[in-house]
Structure 1
Amino acid sequence: MAKRKQRRDEFQDISSYSSKQAYKKNQKKKKRTGLKVFLSFICVILVLVGGVMIYASTVLLGDLKTTTITKDKTELGISEETKSEAGITNIALFGVDARDYDGGTFAGRSDAIMVMSIDNVHHKVKLTSIMRDVRVYMGDGSPYDSGYDKLNHAYMYGGPEQAIRAINQNFGLDIQDYVTVNFAAMAKIVDAFGGVNIDLTEDEISEINKNMYALAAESPESMAGDVSTYAPLSAGDGVLLNGDEAVAYGRIRAIDNDNGRVERQQEVLSALLSKASSISKLEYPSIIQQLAPLCETSLTFDKMIGLAQIALTGFDIERLSIPSDVEGYASDYCEGGGWMWTYDTDVAAQHIHEFIYEDEN
């Protein structure tokens, strides 16, 4: 167990710093990390690697689902006072768990919510994770008289536009585009890279094996298959997980809590990033063709190319998780009886702005 703790400590999370001084002191220690953004954005980033850029954008990404959302800033919850800066682009990343194992469905609750900031001013890519169960104001977008509900319900109620509006309104951001991936398609993504190696404890193995049987019951043909042929895993270091097993691992919550679940998903996606960095560029076209149908985005091809040309120039990746000790948080119950995070979103907005824009004012 000590070894697992040591490995996880390699992923620097600035949300653990309770003061600006501690945050600044640790700036130089941040590591490059994959995180969930790899799952959400890989289908539009890999295409721009090497000399296949133009070919890939017109041929390999033919199955990428592109949509158009309103560009009216008021409708997206962007006010005149909203902070923005030339050279910094914020994009919403959503992971939906629609349990559609073909990966072509992009509806439902957004179980993963992130903001990807491509910062050409400070030469960084910044990832802000917002816990899905935070209580936020949605106004008419909420079914409750109070106008409040869980943030991840916004996507279910009104799709990406309402989800973007909820993020912008509650955290003072200027997001105008998004990328969504169906988490149920994660198995296909992992398999496209030949699986991932993860250190597993006995408790985790027990839960993986249970979840594999549950996956088989959900979709016998496309997931775990016939349970009678499934060979249970054993605990150990660097255990190779196929796509189905990685999904089962990422769903574990019984042995700790939702934060533990998020941490395990981050480990899977960081392992994927390691795989992606080690494969030959000649393998990219095949992988892109497999992954493109699993993603939906409002980004145009021209914008994808422009942003990726910036993001692929060796930028460091930094991350922030909200809520943190800075915001303070407590549990509460919504009108529907569900559990939610509650904290000062104004403080969170300031925290996020300092992280994205590196401006204490």
Structure 2
Amino acid sequence: MRSERQEYQKQKKKNRKWKRFFTTIFILFAAVFAYGFYQYKQGVSQSTERANVQKVDYEFNGDVDQEGGTNILLLGSDSRGEEKARADTIMVARYHPDNGTYKLISFMRDTYLEIPGYGQGRINTAFLKGGPELVRETLKANFGLDLQYYAIVDFEGFVQLVDEAFPEGLEIDVEKRMSKNIGVTLEPGLQRLDGKHLLGYVRFRQDAVGDFGRVERQQKVVKKIAEELTSIQSVPKLPKLVGVVTPFVNTNMDAADMVFIGKDFITSGNREISSLRVPVDGAWQNANINGASVLAIDVQKNREAIQGFISK
């Protein structure tokens, strides 16, 4: 009888330990969630005072990638979110959770393609005519890309994100003097650029290589930002960074999606970002169509290059 009572007391004590353990875990989880939510709201409040972006509910009939990847259409705009905005930057960011791979495809804005329902035209006119949904349809029809999400980022959001994440600026080796049509003047050499000057750097295209150099710089800066974020172990800052950029973004992703993908990248063992430019070398030529300078491309060769790139 005594041994049964002792066994009962022992089991009761053990149950209390487990109860305290789970209570502690719950409190820690709640504290982390509350801290993250507070940081996110603080970032939103900080940017709302500066943002002047009209939020537009765009139609977007995105599909899940058949290979299990998450493809996000990224569009850069400097027109404050107006519905007839000009897409100055067109990219697809690809994240594959099972493979742990991160990829970036840049589409040059003068690429001449078949735009469903509108005939042929430059790819950046697809956004003017039909928003992100028509860009999605264009990329799907020409290259077989399935896009699940879209994010239209006002360039001022890029400036605020850089300034919040890197208060001392981002170190970039500026390869030449740049000033025309970018709102700032950059001198050549290794230097730290704040958000405004970094935006000027990635937008410059007034030289011999034109948009090719601009796209190369965009990919260089995206990789540099990703590298710097991982080097300072930015997981605690992620909620606030997402909050800072949110007022400047039109997207069908929610904040939890963005934090989840960002956390996976920062904590991943493989943080390398592979990149591709479309059109690829050897599969395009300059052309003049109806008085406009465009890039006439071999659609099939570029389609094969894209499919090969995302399947690795």
Give the TM-score taking structure 2 as reference length. Answer: 0.71
How many residues end up aligned between the 2 structures? Answer: 267
Q: Give the superposition deviation at 1:330.
A: 0.5
The alpha-carbon distance between structure 1 residues 319 and 250, as it changes in their structure 2 partners (threshold 3 A), is: closer
Question: Which of 190, 199, 204 matches 2:173?
Answer: 199
2:121 equivalent in structure 1: 149
Q: Give the superposition deviation at 1:164.
A: 0.8
CA distance in 2, matches of 1:136, 1:344: 10
Q: Give the superposition deviation at 1:61.
A: 7.6
CA distance in 2, matches of 1:69, 1:88: 22
What stretches of structure 1 of length at least 5 have no aligned partner? 1-50, 216-223, 225-231
Q: Give the superposition deviation at 1:135.
A: 0.8
Give the TM-score taking structure 1 as reference length. Answer: 0.63
2:284 equivalent in structure 1: 329
CA distance in 1, matches of 2:163, 2:78: 18
1:276 equivalent in structure 2: 229
Q: Give the superposition deviation at 1:150.
A: 0.4
Q: 2:58–2:131: 8 Å Cα contact kept in structure 1?
A: no
Q: Give the superposition deviation at 1:303.
A: 4.6
2:114 equivalent in structure 1: 137
Q: 1:332–1:340: 8 Å Cα contact kept in structure 2?
A: yes
Question: Which of 240, 244, 248 matches 1:294?
Answer: 248
Q: Give the superposition deviation at 1:151.
A: 0.5
Higher relative contact order (CA 8 A, sep 6+): 1
The alpha-carbon distance between structure 1 residues 54 and 200, as it changes in their structure 2 partners (threshold 3 A), is: closer
1:260 is aligned to 2:213: yes
The alpha-carbon distance between structure 1 residues 279 and 160, as it changes in their structure 2 partners (threshold 3 A), is: same
Q: Give the superposition deviation at 1:54.
A: 6.4
Of the two, which has the highest radius of gyration?
2
Q: Which moved more, 1:260-269 or 1:309-318?
A: 309-318
CA distance in 1, matches of 2:267, 2:193: 31
Q: 2:283–2:298: 8 Å Cα contact kept in structure 1?
A: yes
Question: Which of 265, 270, 275 matches 1:319?
Answer: 275
1:3 equivalent in structure 2: none
Q: Secondary structure at the match of 1:166?
A: helix
Percent of pairs with identical residues: 29
Mapping of residues 1-361 of structure 1, within 5 Å: 51-52=32-33, 55=37, 59=41, 67=57, 69-71=59-61, 84-85=66-67, 87-98=68-79, 100=80, 105=82, 107-140=84-117, 142=118, 147-192=119-164, 193-194=166-167, 195-201=169-175, 203-204=176-177, 207-208=178-179, 211=181, 215=183, 234-237=187-190, 239-256=191-208, 257-277=210-230, 278=232, 281-301=235-255, 303-304=257-258, 307-308=261-262, 310-314=264-268, 315=270, 316-325=272-281, 328-335=283-290, 337-358=291-312
Q: 1:96–1:107: 8 Å Cα contact kept in structure 2?
A: no
Q: 1:108–1:155: 8 Å Cα contact kept in structure 2?
A: yes
CA distance in 2, matches of 1:137, 1:112: 19
RMSD: 3.4
CA offsets per residue over residues 287-330 of structure 1, 9 Å max, x none? 333222122211245654665565455144222222123x5211
CA distance in 2, matches of 1:269, 1:119: 18
What stretches of structure 2 of length at least 5 have no aligned partner? 1-31
The alpha-carbon distance between structure 1 residues 68 and 122, as it changes in their structure 2 partners (threshold 3 A), is: same
Q: 1:110–1:155: 8 Å Cα contact kept in structure 2?
A: yes
Amino acid at match of 1:319: S
Q: Give the superposition deviation at 1:248.
A: 2.6
CA distance in 2, matches of 1:302, 1:290: 14
